[in-house]
Structure 1
Amino acid sequence: MGKRQLGELQPSELVITILISNIASLPIEDTSIPMAMGAVPIIVLVGFELIISTISLHSKKFRSVLSGKPMIIIYNGVIDQKAMKELRFSVDDLMETLRGSGIFDVREVSFAIVETTGKVSILQKFKYQTATAEMLELKGKDPDPPTVVISDGVILQNALKSYELHEQWLHKTLEQNHIAVKDVFLMTADHNANYYIIPKDCAKVKGPIEN
């Protein structure tokens, strides 16, 4: 099934998940049923699901029969009422979904597609889209998000290594700010060694520290 939420499961996956859950609970509810009796059907169901998933992966036709196809419910601001009825998608459901994407007027929608998972993908008309740096031809650098290098008095070696920061730099920085590692509640740093330190409440140094 992969790492997906319950609402993203295909119908066959959802049915098998429910069956496995029910079968697994039987030996717990009735102690007279051996655990092996519950394990065998679970293994069979898991194997069946793997077979279905493999076939679906390699056969587009089988996948469309099993899971259906994405359906367009709005095109160029016009709602396809026939598709809505076929999907049992109410007007309230549609408007709630649009509002969740920051759209309050159907006329602003270029495409709205109901995916096989039930999720609605929405493409807004160009003139209503929020301007991006690319649209405005603005130049700039990609953001350099900081990483946590000290958490509750503990140095995170992997974080330092991934950002190519040395522990020697870390200790020197703390020494310059008159604070010990054990007194640091949180310290973050970016690739350019810009840091932000929050001391513990019990530390002698008070207030956030940054360069």
Structure 2
Amino acid sequence: MAVPALEIKDLHAWYGESHVLHGVDMVVQPGEVVTLLGRNGAGRTTTMRAVLGLTGARKGSIKVDGVETIGMPTHRIAHHGIGYCPEERGIFASLSAEENLLLPPVLKGAGQGMSVDEIYAMFPNLAERRNSQGTRLSGGEQQMLAVARILRTGAKLLLLDEISEGLAPVIVQALARMIHMLRGKGYTVVMVEQNFRFAAPLADRFYVMEHGRIVEKFGAAELEAKMPVLHELLGV
């Protein structure tokens, strides 16, 4: 059996004295799209941040491609091929779209990143707006740029936090097509999503979080049978 792209065991995490994650277990296989569902405050974003060492204290095990990373600093974890797209996107307003795209370094030890031409083929809107300042991009264009930036680095495990939030339906559809394309190219994707309708047709498997714990996990084939549980837990 293949070594998991990401394997989390008994993960606890804190912000200061606040104990946020309580024994999270999660496995993501190479090439999978996995969605973390849950209400606001359930611990989904903290789980992603903990993978990269962006929380306070952590305890447990986080393996990336079989390598234990729980004791590593963030910059070393990133070199194992992880790309993180946070909810706030982090676009530099004073730089053009292309300057933002070229800003992060290519990760040593990671796979071959996408070329600028490949990225513009995937995101034609960005090609048209390459010379526009970050502040002049629409919310959807900024989101595409945030994802494109990590694809150029060579990251193969993508952590995407609420990428559909607040965007027009046509942009959400474009992001869904992007995730299908990335899966076809062999990328592994972990998504935090509040937009269940966006996430449901994309994911191979689902984890549901509540109060810093995984309370449900199931595959796409079980989704219909799990709808009563999801309605109770999430209100979907």
The interval holding the TM-score normalised by the smaller chain is under 0.3
Q: Which has the larger radius of gyration?
A: 1
The structure with more helix, counted as a fraction of residues: 1
**Larger RCO (CA within 8 A; separation ≥ 6):** 2
Superposition TM-score, scaled by structure 2 size? 0.24
Tell me which protein shows more strand as a share of its residues. Answer: 2
